[in-house]
A and B are shown apart, each in its own frame.
Chain A
Amino acid sequence: MNLSTYFDMGGYAGFVWPAYALTALVMLALLGTTLRTLRAREATLKTMQETLPNRRGNRPAAPRS
């Protein structure tokens, strides 16, 4: 199959390819923002739990040393 006739989509390239590009863009953006937020929150929670070992006791961690 000739590649340029394939990409031309019977003259409708300007409609078919933008439809696929937009779909891919929106789905990747959804996945990307979801993963970025998830990782940022996981990191925040991790640092919080490391600096606050006594949170169940409802009082701030006593300074060690």
Chain B
Amino acid sequence: MHRFANPARFLRLAAVILPWTAIATVLLLGAGLYLGLIASPADYQQGETVRIMYVHVPSAWLGMACYSTMAFASAVALIWKHPLADLVGKSAAPIGAGFTFVCLVTGSLWGRPMWGTWWAWDARLTSMLILLFLYLGYMALINAFDDPTRGARAAAILALAGAVNIPIIKFSVDWWNTLHQPASVTKFGMPSVDPAMLVPLLLMGLGFTTFFVTVLLLRVRSEIIAAKIRAIRLTQIHASSSQVAG
């Protein structure tokens, strides 16, 4: 773990990984879109609206996966003062917020024709909305302090406290009576989705994941450069103030 704490080592590793994740994203999303929008059949109950699943479900997975990444990075930052961990958390948050927003809106667009309502205050939908608010709170908090390390610390504590929401989202469909259907891909034994639909769904899920990794690596690289700029500015201020004092 600590071998990757070195920003220079991270940047070298990221430069090697980035082209592959970028190419994988294009290929996976291309194949997923072809199978999802053209080659796969309509659902016998839901008709063509089932195609919303290929963007709705992966964005829900990624909304939760980004949060888990952010919470894990926050724990590492708080416990080991890992210099890159704060940057990973800060970089993951907007991506996760974007996917969570997509999940909520596409869910609404799917719910209207199939459930007859855009929104219901049931457990799955409400806990997903709370996830969006946790992301927004984290992003506001990490930028709310003049001292970036204080902001990162406060935001990391929020991210860890909010992590309790992740199992609540996952199991909400089992613990409470909700309008939302229970899990069908991660069921024990065989998933209850036909392969013609499961394959594009998994391709889109993988494509969203490699997209997340690509954008995350770019954002962390960007944050490392921002930290360098801040450090140079500080030495400039230090140099000019010592000249005035001398």
Q: Say whether, besides A12-B48, A19-B106, A31-B215, A41 and B225 are in contact (CB < 8 Å).
A: yes
| CB of B94 closer than 8 Å to a CB of A | yes
Interface range for A: 20 to 34
Q: At the interface with chain A, which of B107-115, B124-132, B140-148, B162-170?
A: B107-115
Neighbour of B225 across the interface among A29, A35, A38, CB < 8 A: A38
Q: Separation in Å of the B103 CB from the closest CB of chain A? A: 9
Taking chain B's interface residues, is the majority helix, strand, or loop, or is none over half, making it mixed?
helix
With A29-B98, A48-B232 as given contacts, are A60 and B240 in contact (CB-CB < 8 Å)? yes
For the complex, give the distance between the alpha carbons of A48 and B228 in Å.
10
* B9 on the A face (CB < 8 A): no
Please state if A58 and B49 are interface contacts (CB–CB under 8 Å).
no
Does residue B221 face the partner (Cβ distance < 8 Å to A)? yes
Per-residue CB contact flags for chain A residues 39-63 toward chain B (1 = under 8 Å, else 0) read 0011011001100100100111000
Question: Is residue B102 within 8 Å, beta carbon to beta carbon, of the partner chain?
Answer: yes
Number of chain B residues whose Cβ lies closer than 8 Å to a Cβ of chain A: 40
- Considering only residues 3-35 of chain A, those with a C-beta below 8 Å from chain B are 9-12, 15-16, 18-20, 22-23, 26-27, 29-31, 34-35
Of A16, A19, A52, the residue contacting B232 (CB under 8 A) is: A52
Q: Is A65 an interface residue (CB 8 A)?
A: no
* Contact yes or no, A19 B229, CB < 8 A: no
A23 x B59 contact (CB < 8 A): yes
Least CB distance, A25 to chain B, in whole angstroms:
9
A16 touches B229 (CB 8 A): no
- Taking a contact as CB atoms under 8 Å apart, the answer to whether B239 and A59 are in contact is yes
Contacts of B211 in A (CB 8 A): 27, 31
Which 6 interchain pairs have the tightest Cβ spacing? A10-B48, A9-B48, A38-B222, A19-B106, A23-B55, A41-B225
Contacts A22-B106, A41-B226 known; list 5 others, CB within 8 Å.
A12-B49, A26-B98, A34-B215, A37-B222, A60-B240
Sampled A-B contacts (12; CB under 8 Å):
A9-B48, A10-B49, A19-B110, A23-B55, A31-B211, A31-B215, A34-B219, A38-B219, A38-B222, A58-B238, A60-B236, A60-B243
